[in-house]
Structure formats: structure tokens, C-alpha cells
Amino acid sequence: MSIHFDLSYANIKLSELKNRFDELSLANEKLMKKTGIGNDFLGWVDYPVQYDEREFSRIKQAAKKIQENCDALVVIGIGGSYLGAKAVISALTSPFYNEEPRVKRNAPKIYFAGQNISGKYIENLLALLEDQDVCVNVVSKSGTTTESAIAFRFFKEFLERKYGKDGAKDRIFITTDASKGALKFMATKEGYECFVIPDDIGGRYSVFTAVGLLPIAAAGIDIDAFIAGEKEGYEDYQNPNFDDNPCFQYALYRNVLYNSGKNIEILVDYDPSLEYISEWWKQLFGESDGKDGKGLFPVAVHFSTDLHSMGQMIQDGPKNHFETVLVIDEEQSEIKVLHDDADLEGLNYLAGKKIDAINEKAFKGTLLAHVDGGVPNGIIHLKKLDAFTLGKLIYFFEKACGLDGYLLGVNPFNQPGVEAYKKNMFALLHKPGYEALTTELEERL
């Protein structure tokens, strides 16, 4: 199997999981038949067999155009509008992708903007791109998301100044609502090429749509294999046999540990390629489960790096957490430790050993130490790190998240709490319509 879930170190009796299986089966039925709460955002469930093939072909054509016409692609979006693409590109390219020569990349550099409110970030990125040919992909359902809308104003002006209005038109790609919203209106008016965010797919579930696929394809990644992995996940994770369904196992593992008093899940990786998979995972579960005072708090650590900062807390701190470890079974490199005659560091006992083999022992040593310290561990084994396996892993997490939300009794497909900070920010910025709240907040500050 390309993905395997190991419960051997989770400190959970199999009977505890199987006692909840009827409840899980009901949640799965609601999810797959789209009859549960939040079912107006369940388009992602069967998207692997329902996606628009014409749109998929257009995405490939646009990606090729971007590759042929620019040195750098700037993807403008926040949350689910950028995290999926960033996660996949980071996982499947070199950590130094943007620094590599074009002949090696065979694709443009990929930069992200609109994911923060930092003048310095925008200013520095614009300066960096001044002497490069640039395309922009703006991703926003409404087109009015503050962070990305601000960034797009700067990059639209940048492109029009650099190429003229007509030249800029061919370098701007819009991913937004099919028929309404500020971006859709602008795309129609200006003649920008436009791609659709389906109405029934929320941002954090949108990586398999044009939201993720256009930047991923522009980076030269095989989106056919990526979608094929998603499709296999869709098929495999409908298996009613609990013992053969790692997605079911993971969903119940989280829920049983949550009900036993654990309130923090730590996603662990041992390869820098997976760092943004963890960031995407944090948004997926954080926005989906964190409602009505419920939900596991999702945290990510990157070992062995964070063993030198967070390791002490995980090992000897309060036991309110458990770990889920992402492991790539296939070696990523052949590089070996060198011999040194002086051996001042005392490392010659490792000479000739592969770095990946040493990393594996770090994983196993840490696993046993943390389990001995009272921290349950579940292990997600990835056979290899490629587009197919990553597509299947993302669908694995998406489905497990939907199931977990239903087991918790919350709507995993909305995010009402996100609006609270926006309301306050708009009031403090004196946005029309927020005058009463402005006065109240300024008095409090």
C-alpha cells in the first residue's frame, strides 16, 4: 500500500477503536452520501471522479503558457488559497528550487504573496522581481479578502507598468467564483484568463481544483499523477473493512485519544520537504474541528530540528498530547557520512552510513523515548514521496477530517470563528459600516 497507518505505538486497545466503528460507519455514510451537516461544501468528496476535464485541460495549457513566458510566477492568496499549492510544490521540488538555474528547474520560480499583511514582504518581493519576467495567479473566492486584495493591487500596477495594460492582461490568471464577486467582475472586464473555484468546495479542501493545480502544474509537477493518487484514495478509503482502511483508523485514533483527555495532536515529520504539508494540515484540522469548545489543537514539529527545542516539552511536559508521525519509507538520498582521519567529533563510527539511515534511527529512537514517556504515537508510512502518493495522502487527511468533525458533532466545513478578527480589523481601519464597533474597540484599546 502506498499509505499505511501503524497503531502499534498508540497505546490504544483495538477494542476501543472497534467499539466506535458503528458510529464511524454512520459518519462515513453521511459524508459519502452528502447528507450530513455542512453538505453544501461536500463537493470535494467525489471530486476525483467528477472534476471538469475541460477545465483540467485549460489548467495544463495555462501552466505551459506560464512556463514559456515568465521567470517567476507569483501566487497571491491566503489560507486554503495558497497552502495546498505551497505544500505540494515544497514537497516535490528541491528545498532550493527558486535558487536553481532555469535549465535544471525547467519551470519558473514560484513565489507567494497575499498570505500576510507585511509591507516589507511586498516591497522586497517587488524589488526582487523588477528585472524578471513575471506572471501572477490571484486566488480568492470573493476577491475581497483583505490580505490578497492588497497584494494584488501592487502586482497589478507592477505588471501594467512593466508590460503595459495589454501585456499585463496576458500575464494575470484569476482563480475565483464562476459567476460573481469582485475578481470575477475584474477578470471579465479586463480580459484575464479565469479558472473556477467550485461553489461546493471550501478553501482548505480546494487543492485538487484550479486553486492548487495551476501553480502546481506551473512548477512542472505531474498533475495527472496527483489526481490519480486522489482518485485511488477516494476508492480505497470507502473500504468498509476497518483493518484495511487506514483513513478510518486515523479518524478513530484521533477521536479515541481526544475522548481520553488528549487535546493536542502534534504532526511530526523527519524531512524538510514535508514542512508545508504540516502547515496545510494545521489549517485543515484547525478550521474544521475547532468549534463549540471542541477539537484537537493541531501543532506541527519538524524533527530532528525541533528535538533541540520542543523535544523536552513533548518528552517531559504535561501529557495532554499525542504524536502522528509522517515517515517516508523510500530513501531520499544516497549521500553518506565521510571518514575523517582526525575524527575530532568522534563520528567515524558513522562513516559510510547513509544520512537517511541515520535519520531513520533518529525517528525510531525518538519514537521509543516518547512512547516510554507516555506520549501515544501513530505512524503514517508513505511508500515514497511523489505526486501520486501526495495526492492520496491529501485525500486521506481530507476524508479523515470530515469523519472526525462528524464524530465530534461539529460542522467541519465552515469557519465562523475566523470572522471575529476581520470584524475588529475592519472597524479599527474605519471601514464604512463599522462605525459603532470602531468607537467601542478604540475605547477598549
> What is the chain's length?
445
Strands 72-76 and 134-139: parallel
User: How far, in Å, CA of 319 to CA of 310, rounded?
Assistant: 14
**Cell triple for residue 98?**
527558486
User: How far, in Å, CA of 399 to CA of 31, rounded?
Assistant: 8
**Cell triple for residue 203?**
478553501
Residue type at 322 in one-letter notation: F
Q: Smallest Cα–Cα separation from 319: which of 260, 250, 253?
A: 260
Q: Where is 422: in which H helix or E strand?
A: helix 418-428
- How does 296-334 read in b/e, with b if 16+ C-beta sit within 10 Å? bbbbbbbbeebbeebbeebeeeeeebbbbbbbbeeeeee
Q: Looking at residue 160, what DSSP letter applies? A: H
304 upstream amide cis, omega within 30 of 0: yes
User: How far, in Å, CA of 27 to CA of 271, rounded?
Assistant: 33
Catalytic positions are 287, 422
**Whole-angstrom Cα Rg for the chain:** 23
Cβ neighbourhood burial of 82 (10 Å; 0-12, 13-18, 19+): buried
Cβ neighbourhood burial of 134 (10 Å; 0-12, 13-18, 19+): buried
User: How far, in Å, CA of 252 to CA of 403, rounded?
Assistant: 9
- Helix residue ranges per DSSP H, 270-386: 275-289, 311-316, 355-372
User: How far, in Å, CA of 179 to CA of 185, rounded?
Assistant: 8
